[in-house]
Amino acid sequence: MISLDYLQENATSLRERVRVAAERADRDPADITIVAVSKTFDRQLMDEAYRLGFRVFGESRVQEIRQKCETPLPGDADLHMIGPLQSNKIRQLLPHIQVLQTLDRESLLQALIKELAKSGSTLDVMIQVNVSGEEQKSGISPGNLSKFVAAVSAAPELRPIGFMTMAPFGADEATLTNVFGGLRQLRDDMEQHYGQAVPALSMGMSDDFEAAIGAGATHVRLGRSLFGER
């Protein structure tokens, strides 16, 4: 069981590290949102994190989200889906999330549009990009991104708010710079090409978030460094 003192200490130290990394990059720390990745941790701990001021939570499994959200999160808390999503789980997931960070393929795009159209609702999405090009990673490849952005933008059911990526596990500094800087460049290219603001950059996890902030991350997804080892 994780003690509340431990959670509070981690929260304080993470906020300080975000502040330092932001200032080093000449950025305003207020422009960086910590997504508290609560997967595998129980609802009670999410509520404690909420009391400590966290307002954005990241979860990666639909079943777990449904269990934890039997009692809805407070109205000013947002839940972001950050895991791979199967099309047949969309309907169960939609009532619980504010943002889907992992829009990563054409078939999911079509299934989402279909489901949202039924209820006449809209959803904020980030497009997941496979910047590193690792075969086992999901995400749109940089070469196909422009076409995919156009398809997302054309769907009135979806509001593209930005992009998400994951760096390779255990990547060195040079690789991190390439991957995170690469996503930022793709974001800038897309904004210029489509004349439309798609500002969010969700990149950086517990082991690499400072490099991500240096490259322009607006959302860092922090699990272990906040809640402890899973």
82 CB-contact burial (10 Å; exposed 0-12 / middle 13-18 / buried 19+): buried
Our CB check for ligand PLP shows the closer of 10 and 225 to be 225
Closest residue (Cβ) to ligand PLP? 223
Please report whether residue 37 would count as binding ligand PLP according to CB under 6 A: yes
Tokens, residue 72: 């809805």
CA distance 104 to 88: 15
- DSSP state letters, 66-123: HHHTSSPPPTT-EEEE-S---GGGHHHHGGG-SEEEEE--HHHHHHHHHHHHHHT--E
Q: Are 85 and 100 in contact (CB under 8 A)?
A: yes
Select the residue interacting with ligand PLP from 52, 69, 83, 89 (CB under 6 A).
83
Select the residue interacting with ligand PLP from 38, 60, 130, 165 (CB under 6 A).
60
Please report whether residue 138 would count as binding ligand PLP according to CB under 6 A: no
Please report whether residue 161 would count as binding ligand PLP according to CB under 6 A: no
**Residues in binding contact with ligand PLP, number by CB under 6 A:** 13
Our CB check for ligand PLP shows the closer of 113 and 131 to be 131
Q: Are 100 and 126 in contact (CB under 8 A)?
A: yes
Our CB check for ligand PLP shows the closer of 148 and 209 to be 209
Q: Between vectors from CA 75 to CA 226 and to CA 49, what angle results, nearest 5°? A: 15
Select the residue interacting with ligand PLP from 15, 17, 39, 61 (CB under 6 A).
39
Question: H/E element holding 80?
Answer: strand 78-81
Please, which of residues 169-228 interact with ligand PLP by CB under 6 A?
Answer: 205-206, 221-225
Our CB check for ligand PLP shows the closer of 109 and 222 to be 222
Point out which residues bind ligand PLP (CB under 6 A): 37, 39, 60, 82-83, 166, 205-206, 221-225
